[in-house]
Amino acid sequence: MNASPLLALHEAAGARLLPAGTPAPLLTYGDVPGEYRAARESAVLFDECDRGAVRVDGAEAPEFLHRLLANRVLDLVPGQGVRNMLLSPQGKVRFLFDVARTEAGFTLSTAPGDAPRLVQALDMFLFAEAIELADVSEAHAPLCLVGPRATEVLEKALGVAAPTERYASVDCERDGTAIRVTHVERFGSDAWRVDAGAAGVQPVWKALMTTGARPAGRVVADSLRAEACAAEAGVDIDDTVYPQEARLESAFSLEKGCYIGQEVVAKIDTYGGLNKRLVCLRVSHDDPVAPGTQLERHDEQKDEWRALGVVTSWAYSFELDGGIVLAYVKRRHQAVGTEFRLNDGSGTATVVASPVRPDALPVSGEFE
């Protein structure tokens, strides 16, 4: 995982940072309520320079990726993209990433630390195909712009019209530096990823701030995504989770034909029967709840407490003015209003309707 080229800048500005080597180390610039308000009313800027990137080039790259990945690839043209996954043969999520079609091939933007493992996983399926795989994370230094004024800020700072189609990209130049702007989904919101590379990221960061973006960190990012019931790779998603459990319907296709894990994904879509699904719950207190905390309900017939869910994320919700968690909860216990005991003894958690904030993207998947 690459360290952000902006860490010294953040430190000089008095930002609160987690220890080096921690994913998304920027916590806040000091005013969390102000940063959150800017995300809802104006524009905020997140440093995501620790994301990874994989290049897949070559004449047979489209067919190769289309055969393996859960979402469509073959029909993409340069400038288009899609959210995508590499699944296990059992239909569970190994990697979640964004695919961008370029003139030379494809760029896969991954969660922090995932790029080397994704290259290794893809290489296992290479035989005699004319394809080149490369971890290009060193050249990937994306910023993320979120909020209702995000496109206005982009156009003022970079002189480029922000793409409106999700996962579409446009290229531009500023002071001789090549920049790619991509419309993505982040933290349960429409967002724009701005990548000027490690050498160009600092002047672009400053330009976006000058034209109206407010810097923000992980605290606000977690609030936004928890209020949107949006699962995060490496936090809420690992290789024990089916895509539908994590509400990742936008990252797979039911029409594209065979791919790794496709039979399981299609079977779940046809017959249902998911044992658990990600939901948002309001907590009875404001203190953080640790990942792995179990959600329990009392079984009246057996007179015992049953573990029926597990917490993956905690955040403070400004919309609800209190703590919330994301958790995988077993079926028949996901209805809004269902109350659980936290097994750490700190209080209770109650299922709420998702998304919590009205400006979040719609939540996919069925609700009880």
- Tell me: the pLDDT tens digits for 95-111? 999 999 999 999 999 99
> Would you state the pLDDT for residue 299?
87
Residue partners of 345: CB distance under 8 A and separation at least 6: none
Is 297 a domain residue? yes
> Would you state the pLDDT for residue 366?
76
* Number of domains present in the structure of the chain: 3
Q: Are residues 153 and 14 in the same domain?
A: yes
The helix (H) or strand (E) run that includes residue 189 is strand 189-195
Q: Over range 76-102, report the average pLDDT.
A: 97
Q: Are residues 47 and 64 in the same domain?
A: no
Q: Which of 119, 138, 157 is the endpoint of a domain?
A: 138
Q: Are residues 159 and 30 in the same domain?
A: yes
Mean pLDDT (the chain, rounded): 95
Q: Are residues 166 and 219 in the same domain?
A: yes
* Cα–Cα dist 237/93, whole Å: 7
CATH number of the domain bearing residue 150: 3.30.1360.120
**pLDDT of 282 above 80:** yes
% of the chain surpassing 70 pLDDT? 99
Q: Are residues 40 and 175 in the same domain?
A: yes
> Would you state the pLDDT for residue 365?
86
Q: Are residues 154 and 194 in the same domain?
A: yes
**pLDDT of 341 above 80:** yes
**What tokens does 268 get?**
């779940």
Is 314 a domain residue? yes
> Would you state the pLDDT for residue 20?
78
**pLDDT of 273 above 80:** no
* Other Cβ atoms within 10 Å of 358 Cβ, number: 8
Is 244 a domain residue? no
* Cα–Cα dist 317/148, whole Å: 19
For residue 25, what is the DSSP state?
Answer: -
Q: Are residues 27 and 147 in the same domain?
A: yes
Contact 247, 312 (CB under 8 A): no
Q: Give first-to-last CA distance, the chain, whole Å.
A: 39
* Cα–Cα dist 167/163, whole Å: 8
Residue partners of 206: CB distance under 8 A and separation at least 6: none
% of the chain surpassing 90 pLDDT? 90
Is 120 a domain residue? yes
**pLDDT of 310 above 80:** yes
> Would you state the pLDDT for residue 95?
98
Is 329 a domain residue? yes
Q: How confident is the model at residue 69 (pLDDT cuts 50, 70, 90)?
A: very high
Q: Are residues 167 and 214 in the same domain?
A: yes
Q: Over range 337-361, report the average pLDDT.
A: 97
**pLDDT of 263 above 80:** yes
Q: Which residue has the tokens 């894990």?
A: 261
Nearest to 179 by CA among 208, 146, 147, 211: 208
> Would you state the pLDDT for residue 83?
98
pTM: 0.95
* Cα–Cα dist 115/233, whole Å: 13
- DSSP-H helix ranges across the chain: 7-12, 32-41, 61-68, 115-123, 150-158, 197-210, 218-227, 262-271
Per the structure, the complete domain to which residue 335 belongs is given by 275-351
Is 148 a domain residue? yes
Nearest to 322 by CA among 279, 280, 283, 281: 283
* Edge-first strand listing for the sheet containing 214-215: 169-174, 177-186, 189-195, 142-146, 44-47, 214-215
CATH number of the domain bearing residue 111: 3.30.70.1400
Q: Over range 205-219, report the average pLDDT.
A: 97
Q: Are residues 313 and 181 in the same domain?
A: no
**What tokens does 263 get?**
């039979």
Q: Which of 227, 257, 290 is the endpoint of a domain?
A: 227
Q: Are residues 18 and 76 in the same domain?
A: no
Is 210 a domain residue? yes
Q: How confident is the model at residue 114 (pLDDT cuts 50, 70, 90)?
A: very high
Q: How confident is the model at residue 227 (pLDDT cuts 50, 70, 90)?
A: very high
Q: What is the pLDDT of residues 121-166, one digit of tens each?
A: 999 999 878 899 999 999 999 999 999 999 999 999 999 999 999 9
> Would you state the pLDDT for residue 127?
87
- DSSP-H helix ranges across 128-250: 150-158, 197-210, 218-227
Nearest to 190 by CA among 362, 364, 361: 361
Q: Are residues 111 and 159 in the same domain?
A: no
CATH number of the domain bearing residue 333: 2.40.30.110
> Would you state the pLDDT for residue 301?
87
> Would you state the pLDDT for residue 22?
84
Q: Are residues 42 and 188 in the same domain?
A: yes
Q: How confident is the model at residue 238 (pLDDT cuts 50, 70, 90)?
A: very high
Residue partners of 270: CB distance under 8 A and separation at least 6: none
Nearest to 280 by CA among 297, 268, 295: 295
Is 346 a domain residue? yes
Nearest to 101 by CA among 65, 132, 147: 65
